[in-house]
């Protein structure tokens, strides 16, 4: 029925000369264009970018990151390690859910138990499955226990939304997904699947009054259409714009481009266990054949920064003093000759999720030093299956953008290169020892030293190379004030009109 | 006639079943959604746990039989990606697809048929050549290009129409034109050929000899006879339009079946893809059936079974 009211209203607008389309949204509403639709509103189910963008404005997290990237409290005010496997959180007692009920330590425990229960089938389980128990251990206290000392726990808990136990149990999981209710700054008013999600301000929010009365998240898959929406004033901020779009937007004085370096690393995987790249000299030659600076300036519009290792400075464990391989095509060609790999055919796996011009440029750079690179384009699920499968099926090369959403080396180089990990086509016991050690202590200094060792080994063995730290690009109305963060969070609470 | 229709329905059911089976196995041969759902860096064991929970580790044939059993009870299942009943996911999109199909068929028929008629009757004139250019443009402009051009011109520069979305009638105009343009060209060409064919018949000469004006001849006799091939094309075009217009829906952010199909395939949301296949097959069967019935109404020879 609501839709047909809309049709009537729109017909009336046509009648008065279609002036309505141009009119800017009243400033009490923020309209966001996302490339896709929300899959689930239940924050403990899907965590694709679009669902994540929307539901994190409805819920609060146990801890969060401030603008500098430091982990700070949100639902928890403080925490301390009781033992290397036990961490005690103090829970705020002034938070209320949107139905007026109080957020209690029991809700925190419930949230942890719900997402870690395998029967709940949460795709996010692997981020929390180190937690073996969650208990209320005092009036405002929750204790989490992990299997082993787990240094990345806090970084993972940044993503733990606190859900209301009483409400979830009352309405059930299915209805909770359709009608989510949290303690966050916004409430879900209307979810039109495939079209938009309308959020309204939770006026009693404990961190203060939310900046907009209403926030509309629209699903607009086509890049050019999102740009048109922004320029026509239909959208106030749009996600995922390309470097070309960003350049084009600079000529429009009503809009601006917001940029932030992220923890996402553009990298090249090199198969160390199969084919011509089994020879370390070929891998080192590949590392020297790639001109990162031209990739970034010519193809990414300068919206990226070269990296020396396969990690960005936005993540814990980054090693600024390990030199990357210099761009030296002559030396690369000589090394390939020495290895007897001239004209060797290398299969290069990629998917449409990655910038194809970068992939093609790498192909040319490698062809120039005497290799023969064949690009194999697959859709994302097939790419993942090949890349995570046996070494002989994983191609010689693969392009990827890696983000563990935890800003820690553990989430990057452990899965990519540890012996036996599905992503790894490489094995070195010394490397394994270093990253295993870094995973099992909560002492940051010891971890940094371990990662220094690990990255030094990777530098010599080259089972993959970091190419660049990707920027996140948003297009926004000039009046919108917001500083995007490296973890690509989209908290409306941090935005405001100028 | 009834027997004919029953036969067609029987064929259609067999075809649908075949297509569904093919889609079921092809989709699964190219991997399941587990890898897309888990966070990057999950271990083999963590992936195996989720795959088991979602039931994708069962033998394909077991999954297939379970699916058919469920389907026979009229249950399309629950989407494992959206955790919602597939019927309600699909049901939410069908009205949008129908709106867009109606809009574009209006554009296609409303412009295409008169254009074809005029081109046939005034064959060789300057007017025909001018209209031929319009038809040619409609047929050759790719929608991802014409759509974006329209958005920029009418949405951004002039500000007359909304750039995207489903805010009522104004937002239906541009997608309908973009999507209807190609069908418009087919209708115009089809009508032109059919009318030309009829105009060369003896009955037309006879009617003219009786002193009937050209306009009256076309309106009373030619149009009706020329309608039969056009009806066939219309039925097929409506089928096509209801099956979802992937590109137009993507360009205009129109939440119809086409967009849903693309998203469901990309995310390996098997049950949604299967439900869409069922829906599209159903639409085609229905349209063919309607065409058969309309033939009978227009052409007595078919009605009386000669």
A165 occurs within a structural domain: yes
pLDDT of residue A134: 96
Bridge partners (DSSP) of residue A268 are A399, A465
Beta-carbon separation of A379 and B30 below 8 A: yes
- B158-194 per-position pLDDT tens digit: 989 998 888 888 999 999 999 998 889 989 998 998 8
Whether the Cβ atoms of residue A44 and residue A111 lie closer than 8 Å to each other = yes
What DSSP string describes A215-248? Answer: EEEEE---HHHHHHHHHHTS-SEES---HHHHHH
> What is the tens place of the pLDDT at every residue in B32-66?
888 888 887 788 888 888 888 888 888 989 999 99
Partner-chain contact B253 A125, CB within 8 Å = no
Q: Would you say A115 and A156 are in contact if contact means Cβ atoms under 8 Å apart?
A: no
Ramachandran angles phi, psi of A155, nearest 5°: -65, -35
| Type and span of the H or E element at A90 | strand A86-91
First to last CA, chain A: 37
Question: Tokens at residue B246, please?
Answer: 């992937």
- Nearest residue to A489 via CA among A300, A239, A245, A256: A239
A352 touches chain B (CB under 8 A): no
Report the mean per-residue pLDDT for chain B. 86
Same domain, A297 and A353: yes
Residue A423 lies in a domain: yes
* Interval A434-482: pLDDT, tens: 999 999 999 999 999 999 999 999 999 999 999 999 999 999 999 999 9
- The pLDDT of residue A20 is above 80: no
Residues A51, B248, B271: CA angle, nearest 5 degrees: 50
Asked if A161 and A302 sit in the same domain, the reply is no
Q: Which long-range contacts (CB under 8 A, 24 or more apart) does A327-333 make?
A: A327/A288, A327/A289, A327/A290, A327/A291, A327/A292, A327/A293, A328/A288, A329/A288, A329/A289, A329/A365, A329/A368, A329/A369, A331/A285, A331/A288, A332/A285, A332/A286, A332/A288, A332/A289, A332/A369, A333/A285, A333/A289, A333/A368, A333/A369, A333/A370
Q: Judge: A194–B259 Cβ closer than 8 Å, yes or no.
A: yes
User: In the structure encoding, which two tokens stand for residue A394, read together?
Assistant: 């994983």
| Residue A409: closest C-alpha in chain B | B41
A171 in reach of chain B (CB within 8 A): no
Residues of A in contact with B46 (CB under 8 A): 125-126, 129
Provide the angle, in degrees to the nearest 10, between the axes of the packed helices A223-232 and B143-150: 10
Of the candidates B301, B264, B299, B261, the one whose C-alpha atom is nearest the C-alpha of residue B283 is B261
- Alpha-carbon distances, residue B213 vs A199, B196, B208 (angstroms): 65, 17, 6
- What mean pLDDT value characterizes chain A? 91
H-helix or E-strand containing A346? Answer: strand A345-350
pLDDT in tens, B206-226: 888 888 888 888 877 788 788
Residue A3: the pLDDT is 44
DSSP state of A64: E
Do A40 and A187 lie in one domain? The reply is yes
Q: How far is residue A138 CA from its own chain's centroid?
A: 35
Averaged pLDDT for residues A98-102: 95
Q: What is the pLDDT of residues A363-389, one digit of tens each?
A: 999 999 999 999 999 988 889 889 988
Residue A141 maps to a domain: yes
| Residue A477 located in a structural domain | no
Residue A207 and residue A290 in one domain: no
Q: Which residues contact A16 (CB under 8 A, 6 or more apart)?
A: none
Find tokens 């991802």 and name the residue: B144
Query: Is residue A301 located within the same domain as residue A436?
Result: yes
Per-residue pLDDT, B4: 73
Q: What is the mean pLDDT of residues A390-419?
A: 93
Find chain A residues with C-beta within 8 A of B96's C-beta: 194
pLDDT surpassing 50 at residue A415: yes
**Over the Cα atoms of chain A, what is R_g?**
24
Q: Residue B303: its pLDDT value, please? A: 64
Query: A169 and A286: one domain?
Result: no
pLDDT of residue A229: 94
Greatest distance between any 2 Cα atoms in chain A = 77
Note the pLDDT tens digit of each residue in B117-135: 899 888 888 898 999 998 8
Domain B93-303 has CATH 2.60.40.10: no
Mutate to test the interface with A, among B30, B36, B39, B43 (most CBs of A within 10 A): B39
For residue A291, being part of any structural domain is answered with: yes
Q: Is the pLDDT of residue A19 over 60?
A: no
Task: Identify the burial level of A70 via C-beta atoms within 10 angstroms of its C-beta, where 0-12 means exposed, 13-18 middle and 19 or more buried.
Answer: exposed
Distance of CA B167 to the CA centre of its chain: 22
State yes or no: pLDDT of A18 exceeds 60: no
Residue A99 in domain? yes
Residue B6 confidence class, pLDDT cut points 50, 70, 90 = confident
Instruction: Please judge whether A194 and B260 are an interchain contact, meaning their C-beta atoms are less than 8 angstroms apart.
Output: yes
Q: What is the pLDDT of residue B304?
A: 61
Give the rounded percent of residues in chain B with a pLDDT score beyond 70.
98
Listed by number, the residues of chain A in 441-470 with a beta carbon closer than 8 Å to a beta carbon of chain B are none
Same-domain pairing of A211 and A323: no
Domain ranges of chain B: 2-72, 93-303
Mean pLDDT of A176-197: 95
Looking at residue A414, its pLDDT comes to 93
Residues in chain B within 8 Å Cβ distance of A229: 163-164
Residue A220 tokens, joined: 């607009």
Asked whether the beta carbons of residue A195 and residue B165 sit closer than 8 angstroms, the reply is yes
Whether pLDDT at B302 is above 70: no
Residue A14 forms part of a structural domain:
no
Contact in structure between B138 and B184 (CB atoms under 8 Å): yes
The residue ranking higher by pLDDT, B269 or A54, is A54
A26 or A386, which is more confident: A386
Looking at the structure, do residues A372 and A440 belong to the same domain, yes or no?
yes
Distance, CA of B264 to CA of A49 (rounded, Å): 16
State the average pLDDT over residues B232-255.
84
In a domain, A247, yes or no: no
* A438 shares a domain with A341: yes
Shortest alpha-carbon distance between residue A266 and chain B (Å): 14
Question: Beta-carbon neighbour count of residue A117 at 10 Å?
Answer: 12
Among A residues 10-29, those touching chain B with beta carbons less than 8 Å apart: 10-11, 13-14, 18, 20-22
Q: Give me the domain span that covers residue A64.
A: 27-219
Q: Which long-range contacts does B64-69 make (Cβ < 8 Å, 24+ apart)?
A: B64/B21, B64/B24, B64/B25, B67/B24, B67/B271, B67/B274
CB-hemisphere CA count at 13 Å for A456? Answer: 9
- Shared-domain flag, residues A170 and A292: no
Q: Which residues of B touch A40 (CB under 8 A)?
A: 82-83
Say what the pLDDT of residue A25 is.
Answer: 46
Answer yes or no: do A219 and B255 touch at CB < 8 A: yes
The strand pairing partners of A135, in sequence order, are: A143
Q: Give the CATH number of the domain where residue A205 resides.
A: 3.40.190.10
Same domain, A304 and A180: no
Q: Report the pLDDT value the prediction gives residue A57, as an integer from 0 to 100.
A: 97
CA angle A406, A411, A412 (to 5 degrees): 115
Query: What's the pLDDT at A1?
Result: 40
Residues A271 and A148 in one domain: no
pLDDT of residue A22 exceeding 70, the answer is: no
pLDDT tens per residue across span B9-37: 788 788 888 888 988 888 888 778 888 88
Number of domains composing chain A: 2
């Amino acid at each position: 029925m609501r839709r047909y009211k809309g049709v009537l209203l729109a017909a009336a607008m046509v009648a008065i000369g279609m002036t309505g389309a141009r009119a800017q949204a009243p400033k009490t509403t923020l309209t966001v264009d996302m490339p896709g639709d929300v899959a689930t509103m239940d924050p403990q189910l899907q965590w694709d970018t679009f669902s994540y963008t929307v539901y994190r404005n409805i819920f609060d997290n146990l801890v969060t990151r401030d603008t500098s990237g430091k982990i700070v409290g949100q639902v928890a005010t403080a925490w301390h390690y009781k033992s290397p496997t036990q961490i005690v959180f103090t829970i705020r007692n002034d938070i209320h859910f949107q139905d007026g009920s109080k957020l209690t330590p029991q809700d925190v425990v419930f949230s942890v138990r719900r997402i870690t229960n395998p029967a709940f089938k949460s795709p996010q389980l692997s981020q929390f499955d180190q937690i073996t128990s969650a208990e209320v251990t005092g009036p405002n206290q929750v204790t989490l226990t992990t299997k082993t000392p787990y240094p990345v726990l806090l970084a993972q808990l940044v993503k733990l939304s606190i859900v209301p136990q009483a409400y979830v149990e009352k309405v059930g999981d299915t209805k909770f997904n359709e009608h989510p209710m949290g303690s966050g700054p916004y409430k879900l008013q209307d979810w039109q699947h495939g079209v938009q999600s309308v959020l309204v301000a939770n006026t009693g929010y404990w961190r203060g009054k939310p900046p907009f009365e209403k926030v509309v998240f629209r699903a607009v898959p086509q890049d050019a259409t999102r740009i048109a929406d922004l320029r026509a004033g239909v959208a106030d901020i749009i996600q995922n714009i390309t470097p070309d779009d960003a350049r084009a937007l600079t000529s429009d004085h009503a809009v601006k481009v917001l940029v932030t370096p992220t923890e996402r690393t553009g990298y090249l995987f090199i198969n160390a266990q199969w084919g011509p790249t089994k020879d370390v000299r070929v891998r080192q030659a590949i590392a020297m054949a790639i001109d990162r600076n031209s990739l970034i300036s010519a193809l990414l519009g300068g919206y990226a920064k070269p990296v020396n290792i396969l990690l960005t400075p936005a993540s814990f464990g980054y090693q600024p003093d390990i030199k990357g391989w210099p761009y030296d095509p002559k030396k690369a060609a000589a090394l390939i000759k020495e290895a007897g790999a001239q004209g060797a055919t290398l299969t290069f796996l990629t998917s449409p999720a990655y910038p194809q011009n970068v992939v093609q440029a790498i192909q040319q750079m490698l062809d120039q030093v005497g290799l023969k690179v064949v690009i194999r384009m697959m859709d994302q699920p097939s790419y993942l299956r090949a890349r995570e499968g046996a070494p002989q099926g994983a191609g010689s090369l693969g392009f990827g953008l890696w983000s563990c959403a935890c800003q820690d080396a553990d989430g990057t180089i452990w899965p990519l290169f540890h012996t036996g990990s599905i992503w790894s086509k490489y094995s070195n016991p010394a490397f394994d020892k270093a990253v295993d050690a870094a995973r099992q202590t909560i002492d940051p200094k010891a971890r940094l030293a371990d990662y220094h060792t690990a990255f030094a080994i990777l530098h010599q063995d080259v089972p993959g190379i970091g190419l660049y730290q990707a920027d996140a690009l948003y297009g926004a109305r000039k009046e919108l004030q917001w500083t995007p963060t490296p973890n690509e969070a989209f908290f409306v609470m941090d935005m405001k009109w100028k | 006639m009834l027997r004919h229709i029953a036969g067609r329905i029987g064929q259609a059911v067999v075809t649908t079943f075949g297509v569904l089976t093919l889609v079921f196995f092809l989709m699964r041969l190219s991997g399941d959604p587990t890898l897309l759902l888990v966070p990057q860096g999950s271990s083999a064991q963590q992936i195996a746990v989720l795959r088991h929970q979602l039931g994708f580790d069962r033998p394909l044939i077991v999954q297939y039989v379970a699916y058919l059993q469920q389907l026979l009870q009229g249950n399309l299942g629950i989407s494992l990606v959206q955790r919602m009943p597939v019927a309600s996911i699909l049901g939410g999109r069908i009205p949008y697809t129908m709106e867009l199909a109606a809009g574009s068929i209006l554009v296609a028929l409303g412009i295409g048929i008169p254009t074809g008629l005029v081109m046939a009757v005034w064959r060789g004139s300057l007017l025909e050549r001018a209209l031929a250019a319009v038809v040619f443009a409609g047929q050759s402009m790719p929608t991802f290009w014409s759509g974006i051009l329209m958005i920029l011109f009418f949405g951004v520069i002039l500000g007359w129409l909304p750039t995207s979305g489903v805010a009522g009638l104004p937002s239906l105009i541009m997608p309908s034109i973009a999507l209807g343009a190609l069908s418009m060209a087919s209708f115009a060409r089809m009508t032109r050929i059919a009318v030309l064919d009829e105009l060369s018949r003896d009955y037309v000469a006879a009617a003219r000899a009786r002193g009937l004006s050209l306009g009256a001849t076309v309106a009373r006799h030619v149009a009706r006879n020329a309608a039969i091939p056009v009806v066939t094309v219309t039925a097929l075009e409506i089928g096509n339009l209801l099956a979802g217009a992937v590109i137009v829906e993507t360009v205009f952010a129109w939440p119809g079946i086409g967009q849903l199909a693309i998203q469901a395939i990309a995310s390996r949301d098997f049950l949604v893809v299967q439900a869409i296949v069922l829906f599209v097959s159903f639409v085609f069967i229905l349209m063919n059936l309607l065409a058969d019935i309309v033939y009978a109404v227009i052409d007595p020879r078919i009605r009386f079974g000669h």
